[in-house]
Every structure is written in structure tokens, then in C-alpha cells.
Structure 1
Amino acid sequence: MRFPYVPERRGTALWHVPRVPVVLHGRNTSVKLHSLVDSGSDHNIFGLDVAHRLRLALANEQPVQLQGFAGGQAEGYLVPIAMTVAGHRFATTAIFTAAATMDAGILGQVDFFSFFVVTFDYQNKLIDIRRPR
């Protein structure tokens, strides 16, 4: 499935970034986001506000240290979740951290790219996400 890059203003500059619609599923609730597809991130990363909206009990989850995130180190919780992208629902994991100030989240290599074939077409400002054959 192809998605157009999303224009975002950063200061006076206009950037086009690869964001895709995702649905994160909690036990009895779900959250819709437009998350950044980031080939430089190892994991899916979301803010604590998203965890609260999903009604996740983070105190029972595995604490982890994030390296190189938000300009240094950050603490978070590695949590098993379900996610829907491009009509495909799958079980994965995500790190929830107070250091993630953007409400849309990041989709990373281990927890997202491993489920799909992802093609960035920057010239045409498109991202293509397909299930492997």
C-alpha cells in the first residue's frame, strides 16, 4: 500500500516526511496515529500519553534504556501490543517513554520493518508498505 509523505513545517522550512496511519490496540481500546517510519530507529517508540490512552499498566512491563534518543539516554518500557498498518493486524512490541514528546510515535526496524517490505521513494514523496511474499 502506498502512502504520500506528509508536509510538516519546521521553523520556516517545509519538510515532507514518511508518516503512515496506524492503529495501536490495547485491551479494550485503540488509538489511531500517523506515525513516522524511521529506518534509523531499532524499535517502535511512543509517548507515555499513548500508553495511558491504551490503558496499559506499565509498572508490570520490562524497563529498558534507550540510547541515542532525544539527544542522549532515556528510560522506557518494552510492551507487547497489537498494531494495524495497511489493513494488516499483527502482534509486536513498542517502547513507551516520557522522552517521546511527539504524539504520533516512531515505527522502527525490529518491531515494524521486520513485518513488511518498506520502500522509500523520496523523489515522488511516497512510501510503499507491503507484506512479504
Structure 2
Amino acid sequence: MKLPYLKFRDRFLPIVSIWLKGGEERVEFKAFVDSGAGYSIFKAEMAEILELRLEDGKESYVTVGDGSLIKVYIHNVRVRIADKEFEAAVGFSRHLGIGFNIIGRLDIFDRFTVCFDESEKIVEFYPRTEE
């Protein structure tokens, strides 16, 4: 599935829609597709929207782009991206210091072949066949 980049601060970036389910409802969020990120990390407020208690998640620390560590709470949630739904480990953090949520490799990239096309400003998610 081809997903167009979105404009963020006057630049087109691989920011796509992703749906997460915490309580009863599935909620759409926008997130930056980052092949260099090990984990998907969302702002702490997103956990509240999903009716998740932040601190009930597994506490972990993740190294971010500047080399510092941030505390994240990992929750297993239902995820839908590119018309495929599955359970994934997603981190939530009060210390995500960038302007967007992050879609990282764990539990996402192993389900898709992900291709970035900068000239066309699209990111493609091709579901892998289940073995």
C-alpha cells in the first residue's frame, strides 16, 4: 500500500496514519516512519486517549537521536497500518522531544517490506506473507 508523505513544518516527511486500540475504540494517529528507530514511541498523552494507564506498561529506556536515554512504558496494543491489523509493542513517553510520534521496527517492519520513495514522496508498506 502506497501512503503519501505529509507536510510538516514546510517539509514533506514519511508521516502516515496508524490506528491504535486501547479501550473500546480504535484511534487514528499520525506518526513518522523511522527505519532507524528500534521501537514505536508515542507521546504519553496518546496513552491517555487510548485509556491506557501509562505506568502499567513495562518500563524501559530508549536511546534517541541525540544519544540521550528517555523513559518509555511499553504496552501491547492492537495496531492497524496499511490495512493490516495485529498486536504490537508500542512505547509511550513523557520525554519524546520531537514534534511527532514514531513508527519503529519492532513488531512493524517484520510484518511489511517498507520502501521509501523520496522523489515521489511516498512510503510503501507491502505485507509479508505469513509462514
- Once the two structures are superposed, the pairs formed by residues 90-129 of structure 1 within 5 Å of their partners are 90-101=86-97, 104-129=100-125
State whether structure 2 residue 28 is matched by structure 1 residue 25.
Answer: no
Deviations along 1:33-91, whole A, 9 cap, x unmatched?
Answer: 12110011000000110000001123322100111256611111011011111111100
- Range with bigger deviation, 30-39 or 65-74: 65-74
2:44–2:54 Cα contact (<8 Å) kept = no
Gap regions ≥5 residues in structure 2: none
Deviates more, 1:114-123 or 1:56-65: 56-65
Tell me the TM-score normalised to structure 2 length.
0.89
Match of 2:46 in 1: 50
Helix, strand or coil at the partner of 1:113:
coil
Gaps of at least 5 residues in structure 1 are none
Greater shift, 61-70 or 78-87, is seen at 61-70
- Quick one: structure 1 residues 70 and 27, their matched pair in 2 at CA, closer, same or farther if it must change by over 3 Å? farther
CA–CA distance in 1 between the matches of 2:42 and 2:65? 12
Q: Structure 1, residues 101-124: CA drift from partner, whole Å, max 9, x if none?
A: 557411001131111110001111
- 1:6 matched to 2:2: no
**Percent of residue pairs identical:** 26
Aligned residues: 129
Tell me, in whole angstroms, the C-alpha distance in 2 between the residues paired with 1:45 and 1:127.
Answer: 19
Q: Measured at CA, do residues 69 and 62 of structure 1 come closer, stay the same or move farther in structure 2, by a change above 3 Å?
A: farther
Secondary structure of the equivalent of 1:100? Answer: coil
- 4+ residue segments displaced more than 6 Å: none
Aligned-CA RMSD value: 1.7
**Equivalent residue, structure 2, for 1:79:** 75
From 31, 35, 54, the equivalent of 1:35 is 31
TM-score by length of 1: 0.88
